[in-house]
Structure 1
Amino acid sequence: MSRRAFLNRIAASGGYGAAYSAMMTMGLLPTAARAGPLALSPQTGRGKSVVILGAGIAGLVAAYEMERAGFRVTVLEARDRLGGRNWTVRNGSRIEMNGEADQTVSFSEGVYMNAGPARIPSHHEGLLGYCRKLGVPLEVEVNSSRSAYIYSETGNGGKPIQMRQGVNDTRGYISELLAKAVNKGALDQDLSVDEKARLVPFLRGYGDLSEDFKFKGTERSGFAKIPGAASQFGERRAPVPFGDLLAHPQLGSTLFEDSLYMQATMFQPVGGMDRIPAGFERAIVSPVIRNAEVTQIRQREGAVKVVWRDRTSGVSQALDADYAVVTVPLVVLAKIDTNFAQPVKAAIAAVPYDYSNKIGFESPRFWEKQQIYGGISFVGGETSLVWYPSADLHSERGMLLACYGSGPRARGFSERPLAEQVAIARGVVGRLHPGHEGDLSKPVVVNWNKVPFSLGPWPSFGGRGGQEGHIDDPNYRLLNEPHGRVYFSGAHLSQMPGWQEGAVFSAHRTIGLIASRVAQTVAVEPPRRAALAAS
């Protein structure tokens, strides 16, 4: 059979999506990422079954798309909720962590904390597309506020610096230095006469320099005296000395919003990030079984057998399927009894997971009286930052995130008693906003390395944390390939392991691989059946 005829049969039986995946597999198309909707025929999976392990975003996307492609779908989720890392806690939520007493959230009505993801970049079109499709209302998430602060006990004499001043004073000083270098001819080997003529006036405007190209402060950094009526003229702040800025441990945080993943516009679901899994739950008609802890995976010729235990009754059950999509975090999967090939088992067991902590408090919105509406103050240390809510602005109370730290420091912090973690986070808020530490109440602590069925926020391939966009580890490559009838999927097997968009991309790729495989089987079966009938 010619390649063209083969692809035509795949397209006829599996639709555009299967043909696309087959062409990708055969190297006939470039491998650029795409976030567009899948276009599988409803007949693609007819007569085929799939069991999906894990009801995080990857598992929910797979279930949603595969049932619409005609597969018989069953989802097994070990938790009593859907969403995986997409987890919003509110009044009455129970926080279960290994080695810790359970916490019961007692926030006021309408107050919530996104324990996992809390923002969606505007270029994450895959996830945003599902929000539109599932009817999940979105609002703008204010990810950066120039009224927030950079703070360190050792920087600027222990006084917070408003983000607008940190950004604009630094820009002014650097512009002055560069203008001096250009005017002294220090860059004559690098700039043409025309380029110099254009660069110098740009620097004057960019840094808000004086006529003699000196930085003497700027109103961009804020007012020392606010302009008012009649002759009440404004007066700009005195600039922070350049040496003090350069010595500040948190100066690099002024670049936070320049990261592509953090640039405006950012979004959040109205009412909490868990509105997204709730939208999937409304749309999925296939069985989604909660409290189903997978204890065994057995692959045999023609099928995958999965044994799971009902966590409420303790009763074990088993089911067979043609294919399995495994979205379970690798650190959890390593503890499940499987008959995977030894190299696959070794790869799963070899991937360490990172550490990440969040601590939230309910509080009167004192920060809004300081003109902080959303955004982040960067404080470094074990707690890393203070993140202000941008939902329900001007309401009476809100959730202040007083810690969101990841990496090695987060590991040590998570080893402290919970009460000590709370006290440290409270103390940082008090130093940043003196007198307001007493406003903080109803603390909630989430150490992701202790959360059952997660045991960490994301993998650390090669020991390098999130590594967005540049993961190329041997274990990563191996686990992105199917193992017989088992397909591994999830944000942890994408180039965006810390983002929900990574889960969408990984699920789409997995669905395409299975659809292509099914279509190829269908494409070659008719002639074989005809030959058998003739014999």
Structure 2
Amino acid sequence: MGLSRRRFLQRLGAVGGYGAAYSAMTTLGLMAATSAGAAPRLPANLGSGRTVLVLGGGVAGLVAAYELERAGFSVTLLEARERLGGRNWTLRGGDKVEMVGTPDQTVGFQDGVYLNAGPARIPSHHEGLLAYCRKLDVPLEVEVNSSRSAYFWAAGSNGGKPIQMRQGVNDTRGYLSELLAKALNKGALDQELSADDKARLMPFLRAYGDLDESMAFKGTERSGFSELPGAASQFGSPRTPVPFSELLANEQLRSTLFEDMLYMQATMFQPVGGMDRIVAGFERGIRSPTIRNAEVTRIRQTATGAAVTWRDRRTGVESLAQAEFLIVTLPLNILAKIDTNFAAPVKAAIANVPYDYSNKIGFESPRFWEREQIYGGISFVGGETSLVWYPSNNLHSERGMLLACYGSGPGARVFADRPLGEQMEIARSVVGRLHPGQEGLLEKGVVVNWSKIPFNFGPWPAYGGQGGQEGHLDHPSYRLLNEPQGRIYFSGAHLSQMPGWQEGAVLSAHRTIGFIAERASQTTASTGRRSAPAA
């Protein structure tokens, strides 16, 4: 008797697990191949009779709950805060900012003005997160991540002045092109280039650096006009170039490469109305219980799954939740303080990961920067405040939110130790030096020191003492915690190669979902029946 496709897939699943069956279904054309970042496609009844408990309502926890409930699992999500979203946090008028060791702040922004306290942009190659924006009907708009009208300036050093980004980029390119052309003419690169290569390279350098006929850089209209073109015979004149030595002496010169980094390349997006519109989309889409103000105090791995004790932060009442599978998306520094019975190496791995530092300070203000032709983008100022970030939304409206500080790393730790008022005044003064006379327009300041935010105490991990929003992570703790521990799974952006990006949370959640799907399918295939859910 011939073997039906359904029976074949059942037997393949029994031998190779869900992953093998899924691959075979894709190969046979029974399931469409998915693009990068796409969620695992799970059978709708895969989790029937099975329970999953998700700890943490950030993006990773929301993705896990959303996908697993659609595969038939009975899902419960516990979140310690009053809100969902984790680091995806948008501040609007009336919101409270609570930080350990500082007075609470009440946001005073007018309607339509908001601060994305956590993530504030989405790269176009973050296909996993963008797919959820499409699926959850979250409207997007372009986030202007780079403006050639903005500035770079070593605010913390003596002397110097802000240099407009377009002039810094194009003057530097002109000088370097001239130097390379001189080296070619002197035969300094004859060992590296053939005569044909040199013949082709010289005209390219002239175009690349906008050099004159003698291959010298004398300035370029790419860097801006000293006299604007106008009607009739009013011809435009290029600016006088910034001296090369002045460019090289500017500590922020490398910021001219900002938009060349893949994570910062156009096109960038933001949800219309604030980053937390993504969270709102998940809230609309998730039907499973999402219990807020549920602070986890105890985790126990059991013979049938996991048991979690949690305390209602409003009433103080403790409750017990049990499930066959447990997904832990809590930051590692928070998890380290919870009573668990994890194996000693796992406990050590969790405890050994410090967290980085990051600060944001936003002000409401009339849009004076637009009078300087700055529409979105960033001015890089260095020092303790690092940058000034201009809003991309509601252009030409009366008021907007100016981000006057976004600094991370060791310097951010020292800055966060200052009183809130002092932090705001430093940020305000830098804006005033960058845009003289405008500092008095900055109102309703709000400070977010992520190292002081409860249930985070840091923006992202610093494996081996090295922080950063993305990288090539291969620390022993990172490797261990990326593997299942029985029926307990650790997940989140901190367990991806993009710990500072929401895409990392999405992809980590997808990986975890795949582990659970494979475990569930193996159990079903080997027993021929569903195992009973944990009590």
In the alignment, the residues of structure 1 paired with residue 159 and residue 96 of structure 2 have an alpha-carbon distance, to the nearest angstrom, of 41
Aligned match of 2:185 in 183, 186, 189? Answer: 183
In the alignment, the residues of structure 1 paired with residue 278 and residue 389 of structure 2 have an alpha-carbon distance, to the nearest angstrom, of 22
In the alignment, the residues of structure 2 paired with residue 161 and residue 274 of structure 1 have an alpha-carbon distance, to the nearest angstrom, of 35
- Aligned-residue offset at 1:437: 0.3
Aligned match of 1:499 in 484, 498, 501? Answer: 501
Contact 1:21 1:516 in 2 (8 A): no
Contact 1:121 1:266 in 2 (8 A): yes
SS in 2 for 1:319: strand
* Residue in structure 2 matched with residue 348 of structure 1 by the alignment: 350
Contact 1:14 1:44 in 2 (8 A): no
* Residue in structure 2 matched with residue 72 of structure 1 by the alignment: 74
In the alignment, the residues of structure 2 paired with residue 452 and residue 154 of structure 1 have an alpha-carbon distance, to the nearest angstrom, of 31
Contact 2:54 2:327 in 1 (8 A): yes
| 1:369 equivalenced with 2:371 (yes/no) | yes
In the alignment, the residues of structure 2 paired with residue 502 and residue 161 of structure 1 have an alpha-carbon distance, to the nearest angstrom, of 35
Q: Trace 1:455-470 onto structure 2 (pairs within 5 A).
A: 455-466=457-468, 468-470=470-472
In the alignment, the residues of structure 1 paired with residue 516 and residue 317 of structure 2 have an alpha-carbon distance, to the nearest angstrom, of 31
In the alignment, the residues of structure 2 paired with residue 154 and residue 208 of structure 1 have an alpha-carbon distance, to the nearest angstrom, of 32
* Residue in structure 2 matched with residue 444 of structure 1 by the alignment: 446
SS in 2 for 1:475: helix
The alignment's TM-score, normalised by the length of structure 1, stands at 0.94
* Residue in structure 1 matched with residue 245 of structure 2 by the alignment: 243
- Aligned-residue offset at 1:6: 9.3
Cα shift readout 1:203-262 (whole Å, capped 9, x = no counterpart): 000000000000000000000000111111111100000001001010010000000000
CA distance 1:154–1:473, shift in 2 (3 Å): closer
Deviates more, 1:144-153 or 1:120-129: 144-153
In the alignment, the residues of structure 1 paired with residue 268 and residue 339 of structure 2 have an alpha-carbon distance, to the nearest angstrom, of 41
* Residue in structure 2 matched with residue 321 of structure 1 by the alignment: 323
* Residue in structure 2 matched with residue 267 of structure 1 by the alignment: 269
Identity %: 73
Aligned match of 2:332 in 330, 337, 362? Answer: 330
SS in 2 for 1:158: coil
Q: Trace 1:206-225 onto structure 2 (pairs within 5 A).
A: 206-225=208-227
Residue identity matched to 1:501: E
- Aligned-residue offset at 1:38: 2.0
Cα shift readout 1:306-330 (whole Å, capped 9, x = no counterpart): 1111111111111110010000000
Cα shift readout 1:438-492 (whole Å, capped 9, x = no counterpart): 0000000000010000110000011111262410000000000111111000000
Aligned match of 1:279 in 275, 278, 281? Answer: 281
In the alignment, the residues of structure 2 paired with residue 343 and residue 320 of structure 1 have an alpha-carbon distance, to the nearest angstrom, of 24
Q: Trace 1:3-82 onto structure 2 (pairs within 5 A).
A: 8-9=10-11, 11=13, 19-20=21-22, 34-82=36-84
Cα shift readout 1:164-208 (whole Å, capped 9, x = no counterpart): 000000000000000111111111111111111110000000000
CA distance 1:449–1:271, shift in 2 (3 Å): same
* Residue in structure 2 matched with residue 432 of structure 1 by the alignment: 434
In the alignment, the residues of structure 2 paired with residue 155 and residue 51 of structure 1 have an alpha-carbon distance, to the nearest angstrom, of 52
Residue identity matched to 1:347: A
Residue identity matched to 2:81: R
* Residue in structure 1 matched with residue 90 of structure 2 by the alignment: 88
Residue identity matched to 1:380: G
Deviates more, 1:347-356 or 1:302-311: 302-311
Residue identity matched to 1:110: G
In the alignment, the residues of structure 2 paired with residue 413 and residue 527 of structure 1 have an alpha-carbon distance, to the nearest angstrom, of 58
In the alignment, the residues of structure 2 paired with residue 442 and residue 469 of structure 1 have an alpha-carbon distance, to the nearest angstrom, of 35
In the alignment, the residues of structure 1 paired with residue 219 and residue 277 of structure 2 have an alpha-carbon distance, to the nearest angstrom, of 45
Contact 2:123 2:267 in 1 (8 A): yes
| 1:99 equivalenced with 2:101 (yes/no) | yes
| 1:360 equivalenced with 2:366 (yes/no) | no
CA distance 1:190–1:8, shift in 2 (3 Å): farther
Residue identity matched to 2:57: A
- Aligned-residue offset at 1:153: 4.0
Q: Trace 1:385-424 onto structure 2 (pairs within 5 A).
A: 385-424=387-426
Question: What RMSD, in angstroms, separates the aligned Cα atoms of the two structures?
Answer: 2.2
* Residue in structure 2 matched with residue 27 of structure 1 by the alignment: none
- Aligned-residue offset at 1:72: 0.3
In the alignment, the residues of structure 2 paired with residue 307 and residue 160 of structure 1 have an alpha-carbon distance, to the nearest angstrom, of 55
* Residue in structure 2 matched with residue 115 of structure 1 by the alignment: 117
Residue identity matched to 1:148: A
Aligned match of 1:165 in 146, 160, 167? Answer: 167
Mind listing any 5+ residue stretches in structure 2 that lack a counterpart? 1-5, 26-33
Contact 1:63 1:75 in 2 (8 A): yes
Mind listing any 5+ residue stretches in structure 1 that lack a counterpart? 24-31, 530-535
* Residue in structure 2 matched with residue 533 of structure 1 by the alignment: none
SS in 2 for 1:180: helix
CA distance 1:444–1:230, shift in 2 (3 Å): same
* Residue in structure 1 matched with residue 29 of structure 2 by the alignment: none
* Residue in structure 2 matched with residue 132 of structure 1 by the alignment: 134
SS in 1 for 2:440: helix
- Aligned-residue offset at 1:43: 1.2
Contact 1:156 1:248 in 2 (8 A): no
In the alignment, the residues of structure 1 paired with residue 387 and residue 112 of structure 2 have an alpha-carbon distance, to the nearest angstrom, of 23
- Aligned-residue offset at 1:37: 3.1
CA distance 1:519–1:107, shift in 2 (3 Å): same
In the alignment, the residues of structure 2 paired with residue 279 and residue 528 of structure 1 have an alpha-carbon distance, to the nearest angstrom, of 32
Cα shift readout 1:244-296 (whole Å, capped 9, x = no counterpart): 10010100100000000000000000000000010000000000011111111
Contact 1:217 1:238 in 2 (8 A): yes
* Residue in structure 1 matched with residue 476 of structure 2 by the alignment: 474
* Residue in structure 2 matched with residue 148 of structure 1 by the alignment: 150
